[in-house]
Amino acid sequence: MMLLGMGPDGHIASLFPNRAQTSYKGKDWVLPISNSPKPPPERITMTLPVINASKHVVMVATGSSKAEIVHRTLETQCLPGAIPAQLLAPTDGVLTWMVDANSGSMLDPLEWENWKAYPRNNLKN
């Protein structure tokens, strides 16, 4: 199981928006990060292919400060890499979102079954 949080810009692990590491598709499991937009500037991160190889990815978001990015991640179509959390898609596993009332306050899940409005959704009954 991979347990992740999400930054206010939608970054996961240390995969930040519009950075080369976010689109990495090679075989390395870990990548160096330099000049991170958030301290510390030097760090390492697991790659997205490693994260998406997990049998179960759990994304946790809490608090009203995450409401806008949770909404943008789950209900807005963005360019690939603009919101790294949108790239979570376990290849042979399950993705579970855990949000509290505050971080989920901008969501409108009753509309998610409208496939024209939400073509990326993969809801299973």
Task: Work out the average pLDDT over 29-46.
Answer: 93
Mean pLDDT of the chain, nearest integer: 91
Residue 14 pLDDT:
95
The percent of residues above 70 in pLDDT, for the chain, comes to 91
Residue 41 DSSP one-character state: S
pTM (2 d.p.) = 0.86
Q: Are the CB atoms for 59 and 88 separated by under 8 Å?
A: yes
Cα-based distances in Å from 65 to 6, 10, 26, 50, 59: 11, 12, 34, 28, 16
Q: Answer with the residue of higher pLDDT: 119 or 2.
A: 2
Dist. CA 21–CA 125, nearest whole Å: 35
**pLDDT band for position 124 (cuts 50, 70, 90):** low
Q: Render pLDDT for 67-119 as a digit per residue (tens, 0 to 9).
A: 999 999 999 888 889 999 999 999 999 999 999 999 999 998 887 777 666 65
pLDDT score of 91:
95
